[in-house]
Amino acid sequence: ETGVTQTPRHLVMGMTNKKSLKCEQHLGHNAMYWYKQSAKKPLELMFVYSLEERVENNSVPSRFSPECPNSSHLFLHLHTLQPEDSALYLCASSRGARTEAFFGQGTRLTVV
C-alpha cells in the first residue's frame, strides 16, 4: 500500500445517482489532489486542496463536488454524471512545497 487509500475500488452508477468517492492519506501530507485518468489521455488534474483550502479547480463541471474536511481526508461527491465521466479517479497527496505526489490505487468509475 502507498499510504493513500481510496474507496470504493470500483463503482457503477446510473446517471441519476449520487455517490461519493473517499480518499484517506496516512503520510502526514498537507496537500491532496483529485486526478482523472481516461484511456489514451494524460492524467487530468481536477482539484487541489492545500491545508484544507481549495487552491485549484481545473474547470471541472459542477457535477463533481470536492470536500476536504481535514488534511487526511478528501471526498469527491458525484451527481448526475454522464457516460463520458467513466474513468479511473485517482487521489494523491504531497508534502506542501515538495512536488512529488503519492497516489492511491484509484476508483474505477463506470457511468451507465
Partner 1 sequence: QKEVEQDPGPLSVPEGAIVSLNCTYSNSAFQYFMWYRQYSRKGPELLMYTYSSGNKEDGRFTAQVDKSSKYISLFIRDSQPSDSATYLCAMSAGGGSNYKLTFGKGTLLTVNP
User: Which of 18/72 has CB closer to partner 1?
Assistant: 72
Question: Distances in Å between the alpha carbon of 2 and those of 26, 52, 65?
Answer: 9, 21, 25
User: Which of 53/84 has CB closer to partner 1?
Assistant: 53
Please select the residue that binds partner 1; options are 59, 69, 83, 100, rule is CB under 8 A. 100
Place of cell 494524460: 42
Characterize the bridge pairing of strands 73-79 and 102-103: unpaired
Q: Which of positions 53-72 make contact with partner 1 (CB under 8 A)? A: 55-56
Q: How many CB atoms lie within 10 A of CB 4?
A: 24
Residues that bind partner 1 (CB under 8 A): 2, 4, 6, 31, 33, 40-43, 45, 48, 50, 55-56, 90, 94, 97, 99-106, 108
